[in-house]
Amino acid sequence: MIRVDGFWFIRFAEYMKIDRIRLHKYITDNIRTLTDGEYTKADIQRNIETYGVLVDCVIVHKRLEWVCDWQAFDIQHWPKREKGNFAGIRVLRETNDFLLLFKPYNLVVQPGAGHSEDNLVTWLVQQYPSQKTILEEGAIEYANWKQKHQQNEQHKPELEHEKADEDDEFTNGLELTPKMWERNKEYRNNYFKRLKRERVAKNEEEKEAEKKLQEESAHSRQYLSNAWFTAGLVHRIDKETQGLLLVAKSRKALDFYQNQFRDREVKKTYLAVVHNVIRSKMQVKSWQCRDKGNPTRQKLFWSETEALNYDADARYAYSHITPIITCPELNETLVEVSIFTGRTHQIRVQCEALGMPLAGDKVYNTVIHSSTKNSGHSEEIEVLEYSSEHFSSKKQEMFGDVEFCLLANYLEFKDINGEVVQQRLVTV
């Protein structure tokens, strides 16, 4: 099959009325027919640029290349994605109401693109079939909500996209002379005031209906996050983060434990290795939201006003960071981080903003040399100092043989009987 490139291919495709598509879009849409491996959109774009795609036996590295569906594509030379480590999952404690698990490094918690099978939820349902009940309850609730949501959409007041010109509406389309307008000035003013009141009332009614719909949608999203994809998982940690996870064994227990997280009654402590020598204990207060320029990242602000101006959904984030051991030779510090809010990538984005990104972090790895006076209170304390050999040995003992060092180390909460449950992985 002859492959035609560039300008002449485009002209030929236009002449023959052939539907063209970008290479990365075609691969994304047909990934399951091309390979049995799982890849995210980011993986596909990265693999095209790195390994290329065989298009009619010619290797192509440009993801924006124009192609047609009748061409031959081959990506069998792409490396398979690294699967999650089920063998590393450990059950640390089990009662009638909850499980305390250790999640290993490089394991996704919930199903997603590229991880439909190798995720903690899949393992949980396989090992504890009773957890599937929570999924089924969530499916029923979701179906009921969806039906109600569709009914609300059908009865939702239609927004007034196009408004008739007020002059034309008042005059019924007739042209009036200046004298006629002046003679009817009082009537005209009253008419427009009445028209304005009616429109304001209608807008208020539409806003109220929209607000009610948004509240119901928010409730549904909260329910879905609680039950639909979690199979009882009370909270989540990142793929690269290892450590403690709490799992509820019933819907009643799930609501009970998640209420504690929501009310900030749960104590959560992490251990992390960061770049630079840190000798000050810090209280970090910031606001964060999704970065509009890079949706895979979170964007941090020290000012609430600045954060809300950037994104109305910006959330408050509060942490305590305490240095424990420093190593000037490696320019690294072991820190303990207590978080009082559970924001996405909270520890990683705050540490980067403070100029001490986590060791091995491939996303938040920019050292920012800026003042931290807006981050909150800081206090210099005495910190242990280790040699490089001793520090590396301690790091290996705590985190294992990984580059990214972040461990969910301590969890404290109350069980359904009101008793305090404490679990710690590593004592420093």
Least confident of 18-27, 210-219, 302-311: 210-219
- Please tell me which residue, 42 or 364, carries the higher pLDDT value: 364
pLDDT at 101 over 70: yes
pLDDT at 294 over 90: no
- Of the candidates 235, 231, 259, 225, which has an alpha carbon nearest to the alpha carbon of residue 103? 235
Q: pLDDT over 70 for what percent of the chain? A: 72
- Please tell me which residue, 113 or 252, carries the higher pLDDT value: 252
- Please tell me which residue, 241 or 132, carries the higher pLDDT value: 241
The whole-number average pLDDT for the span 8-18 is 54
The whole-number average pLDDT for the span 216-232 is 53
**Per-residue pLDDT at 168:** 45
The whole-number average pLDDT for the span 400-425 is 94
Report strand pairing: 267-275 vs 406-414.
antiparallel
Please give the mean pLDDT across all residues of the chain: 80
Paired with 336 in beta bridges are: 271, 322
Contacts of 218 (CB under 8 A, 6+ apart): none
**Per-residue pLDDT at 159:** 42
**Per-residue pLDDT at 79:** 86
Contacts of 190 (CB under 8 A, 6+ apart): none
**Per-residue pLDDT at 167:** 45
104 alpha carbon, distance to own chain's centre = 20
**Is residue 20 exposed (0-12), middle (13-18) or buried (19+ Cβ within 10 Å)?**
middle
Alpha-carbon dihedral sign for residues 271, 275, 387, 278: negative
- CA–CA distance, 172 with 25 (Å, rounded to integer): 52
Tell me, yes or no, if the pTM score tops 0.85. no
- CA–CA distance, 39 with 114 (Å, rounded to integer): 5
pLDDT at 422 over 60: yes
pLDDT at 169 over 70: no
Helix H or strand E segment including 323: strand 315-327
Domains of the chain: 6-74 (3.10.290), 85-260 (no CATH), 264-428 (3.30.2350.10)
Q: What are the φ/ψ torsions at residue 249 (nearest 5 degrees)?
A: -100, 5
pLDDT digits (tens, 9 = 90+) for 46-92: 889 999 999 988 999 998 999 988 889 998 888 877 666 788 899 99
The whole-number average pLDDT for the span 131-157 is 67
For residue 423, count other CB atoms closer than 10 A to its CB: 15
- CA–CA distance, 230 with 265 (Å, rounded to integer): 21
Q: How confident is the model at residue 170 (pLDDT cuts 50, 70, 90)?
A: very low
- Please tell me which residue, 155 or 422, carries the higher pLDDT value: 422
Structure-token match 């960061």, residue found = 274
- Please tell me which residue, 138 or 412, carries the higher pLDDT value: 412
Structure-token match 């300008």, residue found = 7
